[in-house]
Chain A
Amino acid sequence: MTTDTAQTNPPPAGPPPAQHDLASEFLDRSTPISRLRNLLHRYPALSPAIVLVVAIVIFGIISPRFFFVNNLSLITQQVAVVGTLAIAQTLVILTAGIDLSVGAIMVLASMVMAQTAARNGVPAPLALLLGLIVGLAAGGLNGVLVTRLKLPPFIVTLGTLNIFLAITLLHSNSASVVGTDIPGLITWTGTTFPVVGVGITYGVVLMLVLYIVMAFVMGRTAWGRHVYAVGDDKEAARLTGIRVNRVLLSVYVVAGAILAVGAWIQIGRADAASPNAGTDLNLDSITAVVIGGTSLFGGRGTLWGSLLGALIVGVFRNGLALAGLDVLYQTLAVGILVIVAVSLDQWIRKVRN
């Protein structure tokens, strides 16, 4: 093997050959707007990052209390659960699916953790493990239904959303478990430690660790690439030799495991486990993913975008509340945000074609 990468035929003098004909032709007429668009297209997490920074600055100006350490601490805690669910949601959406049952799986896992430890006397580590197993099984059920029965993920998870909620209520007799009954290990995720004066919970740290690990997996392993390929074009992935069903099933199982970690974070955050917690978490997680620039058609998006999306929603809700606006306006703002984010995304994607 002697062929080094030395070019066999050096290009003649003059401009280098166009690499992306259409795109570069288009961009050669580079108006500032088209250049901005190209930049945003190349770095999908850039636009949510800009929105986040702008939002933080504006809310900081409106209300000086926004930058109070207690408030910053509160925002991170509010984001921890949605942010973790958004990881699971991102994985599923990258495969061109959607998971409406993320909130239900999380609540089910949290009830299993809290209840087995508080009422059935199961040791705390084992209770956490049981919750993890429940999360894996619930995700696995979604995955089997999607891959074996070939049902659309929307339908599957709409069904399992209700099934998991019903199981949760049956299992818990619709009763919450209060924090004082739950062993310290399970509520540990709500414990804070100071980072330059801002109280950060271990739950927030856990969420960040999950992001780092999963971002690595998505970007640097074959599995991650196959997830993108399957979401991009399922048939092409199959013909390339990727075992599409195996990848899909594993995505739902991994999502289930992440949701179980989310359950742990939720118990710490609420200092309780309630079967009625997290009813809006499904939509909140989808909102975070979409604002973060991940395409609902699959194959495009990043985990970091979803984290930014979750932070944007958290900052908006918090900032509007500090500005003295009614909760209704927070909801209104989030709705507008979703539509603006997706419109912006469509506009950015016009770079190609």
Chain B
Amino acid sequence: MDQKGTKLTTTDSSRPASTLPYTQPVLKATGLVKTYGKVVGLDGVDIELYQGEVLAVIGDNGAGKSTLIKCLTGAEVPDGGEIWLNGRQMSFKRPQDAKQFGVETVYQGLAVSPALDIASNLYLGRELRKPGILGSVFRVLDSKLMRKNAKAELDRLGISTLQDVTVAIENLSGGQRQAVAVARAAAFGSKVVVLDEPTAALGVRETNQVLDLIRRLRDEGIPVILVSHNMPNVFDVADRIHIQRLGKRAATITPKSHNMTEAVAIMTGAASA
């Protein structure tokens, strides 16, 4: 592993630049089932994510959006169904299993640790250690390198509102916290980036920054799954839209094939695709 590099990847950093014809999905799931006692969260969901696209997932409250995301990214283990990443079947038991394969997620409600600073949060769970015996035997962290890389990565992602990476998360505004969470996913996600309601509670300007970031990731060849309630945002940035209804996929549409009203109709069951 190259710890000196300024890019924050821990797995392979080769991001395919070419947009291949849509042949094989990068991430695919078939027949995902997840129940919580008697409550059925997912009732056999299929989903496909292709190279170089932004796939939005929309649905009413309780339609199973967050459960779907959690099952795809190892935060929950599905009761049934299969998950494939680049043609390989996966069984993610924990979030770090998915991360190991380059699938990074921003969960709803932000998985950041408020008392730790920005750099520590970016590297939480995959800290860099000092070279040599200090790192290998005494497990000493290389805080300086982590701060430097974190700074470089925030600059690269164009997140200008975060200048000092040693500030504790609890001293940041909601939008800035969101930016940290999104930056972490963007920095380490070498295969897929998944964002669950990343613009919730954000101002207009901050929302646009996140949307720009999503487009930039797609242009770099990283496909993005975006869960959102915000229809204008979804229609603004998504290439395809997965509509989740009552624990199932109701339809997959595109912003060109359907308009917002039609999408909402499918979402609420007033119309079928």
Contact in complex: B156, A225 (CB < 8 Å): no
Q: How far is the CA of A300 from the CA of B115 in the complex (A)?
A: 7
- Say how far A80's CB is from chain B's closest CB, in angstroms: 26
Which residues in window 228-242 of A have CB below 8 A to B? 228-229, 232-233, 235-242
B253 within 8 A of A: no
B252 within 8 A of partner (CB): no
> Which A residues are in CB contact (< 8 Å) with B110?
236
Give per-residue flags for A205-237: 1 if the beta carbon is below 8 A from chain B beta carbons, else 0: 000000000000000111101101100110111
What is the CB-to-nearest-CB distance from B100 to chain A, in angstroms, rounded to a whole number? 9
Given A5-B155, A222-B141, also A236-B172 (CB < 8 A): no
A29 at the interface (CB under 8 A from B): no
Contacts of B127 in A (CB 8 A): 222, 225
**Chain A 15-42 interface mask (CB, 8 Å, partner B; 1/0):** 0110111110000000000000000000
A143 part of interface (Cβ distance < 8 Å): no
Q: Is B265 an interface residue, CB under 8 A from the partner?
A: no
Given contacts A3-B152, A19-B164, A221 and B125 within 8 Å (CB-CB): no
Interface residues of A in 1-15 (CB under 8 A from B): 1, 3-5, 7-9
Contact A242 B163 (CB under 8 A): no
Shortest distance from the beta carbon of B207 to any chain A beta carbon, whole Å = 17
Q: Within 8 Å CB of A9, what residues of B?
A: 160
C-alpha gap A242/B96 in the complex (Å): 8
Task: Report the bound CA distance from A299 to B161 in whole Å.
Answer: 26
A170 and B126 CA atoms in complex are apart in Å by 47
B-chain residues with CB within 8 Å of residue A242 when the two chains form the complex = 124-125
Most chain B CB within a 10 A radius of its CB, from A9, A220, A226, A241: A241
Q: What is the bound-complex CA distance between A21 and B110, given in angstroms?
A: 19
Chain B residues, CB < 8 A from A241: 94-96, 99, 124-126
Known contacts A241-B126, A352-B170; is-contact A233 B113 (Cβ 8 Å):
yes
Given contacts A3-B152, A225-B116, contact A236 B167 (CB under 8 A): no
With contact pairs A239-B107, A240-B95, A241-B99 given, residues A232 and B6 touching in the complex (Cβ less than 8 Å): no
Instruction: Give A19 to B167 CA distance when docked, in angstroms.
Output: 8
Q: How far is the CB of B18 from chain A (nearest CB, A)?
A: 21
B118 vs chain A, min Cβ distance (A): 10
Taking the complex as formed, is A243 at the interface, i.e. its CB lies under 8 A from any CB of chain B?
Answer: yes
When each residue 57-98 of chain B gets 1 if its CB lies under 8 Å from chain A and 0 otherwise, what string results?
Answer: 000000000000000000100000000000000000011100
Q: How far is the CA of A300 from the CA of B172 in the complex (A)?
A: 17
> Smallest Cβ distance from B259 to chain A, in angstroms?
35
> By the criterion of a CB under 8 Å from any partner CB, how many residues of chain B are at the interface?
43
Contact residues in B for A222 (Cβ distance below 8 Å): 127, 129, 139, 141
Which B120-138 residues have C-beta < 8 A from chain A?
A: 120, 124-127, 129, 138
Contact A232 B125 (CB under 8 A): no
In whole Å, how far is A279's beta carbon from the nearest beta carbon of chain B? 34
Nearest-CB distance from A35 to chain B (Å)? 16
> Do B115 and A225 touch (CB < 8 A)?
no
Check B5 for interface membership: any CB of A closer than 8 A.
Answer: yes
Of listed A7, A229, A233, A299, residue having the most chain B CB within 10 A: A229
B186-212 with Cβ < 8 A to chain A:
none
> Bound state CA distance, A20 and B174, in angstroms?
11
* A226 contacts across to B, CB distance below 8 A: 124-125
Chain A nearest Cβ from B33, distance in angstroms = 22
Q: Considering only CB atoms, which chain B residue lies closest to A295 in the complex?
A: B115
Interface presence of B218 (CB below 8 A): no
Determine if B5 and A239 form an interchain contact, defined as CB atoms under 8 angstroms apart.
no
A5 to B96, CA, bound (A): 29
Smallest Cβ-Cβ distance to B140: which chain A residue: A220
Please tell me if B20 contacts chain A, counting CB pairs below 8 Å: no
B107 neighbours in A (Cβ, 8 Å): 239
User: Is residue B35 contacting chain A, with contact meaning CB distance below 8 A?
Assistant: no
Interface: B148 (CB within 8 A):
yes
B112 contacts chain A at the CB level, 8 A cutoff: yes
Closest to A244 in B: B94
Output the least CB separation between B176 and chain A (Å): 8
If A236-B113, A239-B107 touch, does A229 touch B124 (CB 8 Å cutoff)?
yes
Contact (Cβ within 8 A) A233 B125: no
* B173 close to chain A: CB less than 8 A: yes
Query: Contact: B120 with A225, CB < 8 Å?
Result: yes
CB distance from B255 to the nearest CB of A (A): 30
Q: How far is the CB of B187 from chain A (nearest CB, A)?
A: 13
Q: B19: CB under 8 A from chain A? A: no
Interface string of B1-45 (1 = CB under 8 A from A): 000011100000000000000000000000000000000000000
- Besides A20-B172, A220-B141, 4 new A-B residue pairs in contact (Cβ under 8 A), listed by A number: A4-B6, A21-B173, A225-B116, A235-B111
Q: Could you pull out 8 A-B pairs where Cβ atoms are within 8 angstroms? A: A1-B5, A3-B6, A5-B151, A20-B171, A21-B176, A225-B116, A233-B114, A299-B113
A residues at B contact (CB < 8 Å) = 1, 3-5, 7-9, 16-17, 19-23, 220-223, 225-226, 228-229, 232-233, 235-243, 299-300, 352
Q: Which B residues are closer than 8 A to A by beta carbons?
A: 5-7, 75, 94-96, 99, 105, 107, 110-116, 120, 124-127, 129, 138-141, 143, 148, 151-152, 155-156, 160-161, 163-164, 167, 170-173, 176
